[in-house]
Chains A and B, each alone.
Chain A
């Protein structure tokens, strides 16, 4: 082990870490925000509501995220229509030439598909009694959704969602396939510069592990806060 390889490139690792954290946080936040309405549509009984969402999640959950990323970054440029937009200098479509935007889009679409199914599953598992109680009080469907179904379902979704965020963190390492220098990209650069695979990749792996543990810890805190009512109760000791 030659530690100078690592200490000499600490600032690169730091900037790679920043990009990784950036990408994961933004894609998870937008993915979650978009997933909630999609999940509501997914559990609806109207085929025009659940059909498109089911097709979307089927595609994004059935194909590798790497291929989705390549499809967006390298693939879309093939379309004549897209090239015409680029030549016209349309600022929105020019974003599709930026690797950062394409990674964000691919990651966001991917995690949104998984999250929508997680939240939809949680909505289906809300106890009947809670729904009946809401109806008995005379809540409209929207009020019931806002006050009862979603708060209950989102809480129950936390354990499954924490897995999704961790998988997203690990999955983000493919950003280096489209020239982005995230944590994995830095490790690849350091490897090819110093020809030191163990130092370069083990150090990156350790940082990913630390990030994973931090996420696990954060989600444990979240569960303690928002799932307190579902925790097993301590049995009361008989008095006397």
Chain B
């Protein structure tokens, strides 16, 4: 039915998943840094973080990705030329991970900021009163409780992130959307292949929602829910 392209597209799905997970990792780090900057006492840091989240919210991911991919290539060329190095091709995977990570880092920063604020200050003071260092308070008290508040927001953003990987096909990464395009042109059956990509995305998003629901229940153990 798929004329031998089924495994190729499955390989593309693996690449999509890899791209999404690497971007997630990047975004989590950027998000934690952004949230800390937003909550810091230093005014320039807060301005920087606010600028970051505002710009990302205002500019489409595709425009940012084109800027990083084509603009980044130009910068790389200038640098290699200056140092007399050979031509260096900017990889669409690197541009994709960097751009998606940078964009979702801003959304994660907002999620983390809210979650940090949701942990009662008294608990942090209690930790300090026991003689814990700031790092110990963070690892033992703030982070585990923050995660429970952050999980719903992180989960939603992960689903959006997963779907936004498709646009990396527009800068030539051979992810499953790009491969479906190629297979559709060769076999003249684009409908079939795009439908296959939809099915694969549905498997990924549905599995993610199920897993996130379980995680949320796990991290909410010990929290009393009001019953109607």
Q: Is the CB of A201 within 8 A of B190?
A: no
**Interface assignment of A57: CB less than 8 Å from any CB of chain B:** no
Enumerate chain A residues within 8 angstroms of B163, measured Cβ to Cβ: 62-65
B29 at the interface (CB under 8 A from A): no
Whole-angstrom distance between the Cβ of B95 and the nearest chain A Cβ: 12
Chain B residues whose C-beta falls within 8 Å of the C-beta of A166 in the assembled complex: 57
Q: Would A208 and B66 count as touching, CB distance under 8 A?
A: no
**Known A71-B195, A74-B184: A208·B63 in contact at CB below 8 Å:** yes
Is A47's beta carbon under 8 Å from chain B? no
Q: Which residues of A contact B54 (CB under 8 A)?
A: 209
Residues 163 to 221 of chain B near chain A (Cβ within 8 Å): 163-167, 169-170, 177, 180-181, 184, 188-192, 194-195, 197-198, 201-202, 205-206
Q: Name the interface residues of B41-87: CB closer than 8 Å to any CB of A.
A: 54-55, 57-64, 66-67, 70-71, 73-74
Given A66-B167, A67-B194: A202 and B67 interface contact (C-beta under 8 Å):
yes
Q: Are A184 and B194 in contact (CB under 8 A)?
A: no
State whether the Cβ of A220 lies closer than 8 Å to any Cβ in chain B: no
Listed stretches A7-15, A37-45, A75-83; interface member? A75-83
Chain A residues contacting B202 (CB-CB under 8 Å) are: 58-59, 62-63
**Max chain A Cβ within 10 angstroms of own Cβ: one of B70, B73, B181, B188:** B70
Q: Determine chain A's interface SS by DSSP, over half rule.
A: helix
CB-defined contacts of A67 to chain B, threshold 8 Å: 166, 177, 180, 194, 197-198, 201
Main secondary structure of the interface of B (DSSP, over half): helix
A101 within 8 A of B: no
How far apart are the CA atoms of A44 and B169 in the complex, in Å?
A: 39
Whether the pair B59, A59 counts as a contact (CB closer than 8 A) is: no
B70 in contact with A201 (CB, 8 Å):
yes
The count of residues in chain B whose C-beta lies closer than 8 Å to any C-beta of chain A is 40
Q: Which of A71, A79, A188 has the most CB of B within 10 A?
A: A71
B residues lining the A interface (CB < 8 Å): 54-55, 57-64, 66-67, 70-71, 73-74, 163-167, 169-170, 177, 180-181, 184, 188-192, 194-195, 197-198, 201-202, 205-206
A-B contact pairs, 19 of them (CB 8 A): A63-B202, A66-B177, A67-B194, A67-B198, A68-B198, A71-B191, A74-B190, A75-B191, A77-B191, A78-B188, A78-B192, A169-B60, A197-B66, A197-B67, A197-B70, A197-B71, A198-B71, A201-B63, A212-B57
Binding site for B on A (CB under 8 A): 58-59, 61-68, 70-71, 74-79, 166, 169-174, 176-177, 184, 187-188, 191, 197-198, 201-202, 204-205, 208-209, 212-213
By Cβ-Cβ distance, the 8 closest A-B pairs, closest first, are: A209-B58, A64-B166, A75-B191, A197-B70, A173-B60, A201-B67, A170-B60, A197-B71
Apart from A63-B197, A191-B66, A205-B59, what 4 extra A-B contacts exist at CB < 8 Å?
A64-B165, A64-B167, A198-B71, A205-B63
